[in-house]
Amino acid sequence: MENMDINKLVNMNIENIMKVGEVKLVKPESSKRIDDKTFEFTFITSTFTDPEWRSIFEKAYIKKIINFHGSTAVLVCQPTELQEEVDMIKAAMAETNLSYSEKREALVKQITEAQKKEKEALRNKQLEDEQVKEMFESLVI
């Protein structure tokens, strides 16, 4: 969202901007052996993630051993590392949820201000049009 032009967002419904709720691991779904030492562990998450949430998460959890797909998270690691990785992922998710929420609030504030300025500019233009019309109609020829 940071690369997106605020003018393009002004006409969007604020409810549709960065609408991911708090993301948490809800429950384990499945495990599958990848090789001699590594497994793929799939978890159900509390909600889907969007690209912005995932971008923030990747900064909080720099390991590239988890991927999000819809409302699932897929972790690839050794079973002996599972609990430690899950604990780090949960901490990174909490940090991401907070950052995401703060970023959304700032963006909503920015959009609200832009919408307010746009309405004010339109109102001023209409007022100016009315004044010009009155001036024109009262013109003595």
* Tens-digit pLDDT profile for residues 102-129: 998 888 888 888 888 888 888 888 888 8
Among candidates 38, 36, 20, which has minimal Cα distance to 75? 38
* Domain hosting residue 84, numbered range: 6-137
Chain centroid offset of residue 83 CA:
28
* Tens-digit pLDDT profile for residues 24-80: 999 999 999 999 999 999 999 999 999 999 999 999 999 889 999 989 999 999 999
Structure token pair of residue 72: 């699932």
What's the CATH code of the domain at 15? 3.90.1150
Angle, to 10 degrees, between the axis of helix 51-60 and the axis of helix 82-137?
Answer: 130
At residue 7 the predicted structure's pLDDT band, cuts being 50, 70 and 90, is low
Residue 81 lies in a domain: yes
The whole model's pTM is what? 0.73
The total domain count for the chain is 1
Residue 1 lies in a domain: no
Which pLDDT score, from 0 to 100, does residue 4 have?
Answer: 53
Residue 129 lies in a domain: yes
Structure token pair of residue 53: 């949430």
At residue 84 the predicted structure's pLDDT band, cuts being 50, 70 and 90, is very high
Alpha carbon distances (Å) from 16 to 13, 50, 63: 6, 12, 30
